[in-house]
Structure 1
Amino acid sequence: MINMAVRGDDGNIVASADAGVKWTDAFAKLDPAAFPMLRALTPYGDAMFNERQMPLLLAELDRLPAACGGDWVAQARELCHVVERGLHLYLWFIGD
């Protein structure tokens, strides 16, 4: 399971999601050209996105195949908006 949290520069968690990303092979099959942000996700590593990457990430979430979907998508969108409204905030996807 990949957890999601918004952290500040100091590493403190500002917001987090209840749902996590359930890893499936469908993520590994995403087209790198169409999903450059989400292709950064791995089941065991971490991925961090800054405020300038939020529009790209939100656009990818909007066209994400159903096989990769779930409750986490709406919560990821909410966390993206937290990052956009704040200063020095980052959206982290934290693998096991």
Structure 2
Amino acid sequence: MINTAVRGDGGNVVARAEAGVEWTAGFADLDPAEFPMPWAPTPYGDAVFNQRQVPLLRSEPEGLPAELGGDWVGQARGLCQVVERGQHLYLWFLGD
């Protein structure tokens, strides 16, 4: 399970998603040229997106295969908005 949270520069958690991303091999099979942002998270590491990257991340899930969607998509979009409205905030996908 990959959890998502918005953190500040100091690592403090500003917001957190309730639904995690159920990582499957389908994410690894995505074309990184077509889906560079959803392709980036891994089940065992962390991926961090800054204020300039989150608009792209927010738009890419619309084209994802249906089996990779879920509650996490809407919640991740909400967290992207938190990052975009704030300063020195980052969206973290936290692998196990």
Structure 2 length as normaliser, TM-score? 0.97
SS at structure 1 position matched to 2:53: helix
Letter in 1 for 2:91: L
Structure 1 length as normaliser, TM-score? 0.97
Looking at structure 2, the residues matched to 67 and 26 of structure 1 have their Cα atoms a distance apart, in angstroms, of: 8
Identity across matched positions, percent = 71
CA RMSD of aligned residues (A): 0.7
Give the Å deviation of 1:43. 0.5
Q: Which residue of 1 aligns with 2:27?
A: 27
Give the Å deviation of 1:44. 0.5
Give the Å deviation of 1:37. 1.1
1:43-82 mapped onto 2 (5 Å cutoff) = 43-82=43-82
Letter in 1 for 2:61: L
Looking at structure 1, the residues matched to 61 and 81 of structure 2 have their Cα atoms a distance apart, in angstroms, of: 13
Q: Which residue of 1 aligns with 2:84?
A: 84
5+ unaligned residues in a row in structure 2: which ranges?
none
5+ unaligned residues in a row in structure 1: which ranges?
none
Q: Which runs of 4+ in 1 moved over 2 A?
A: none
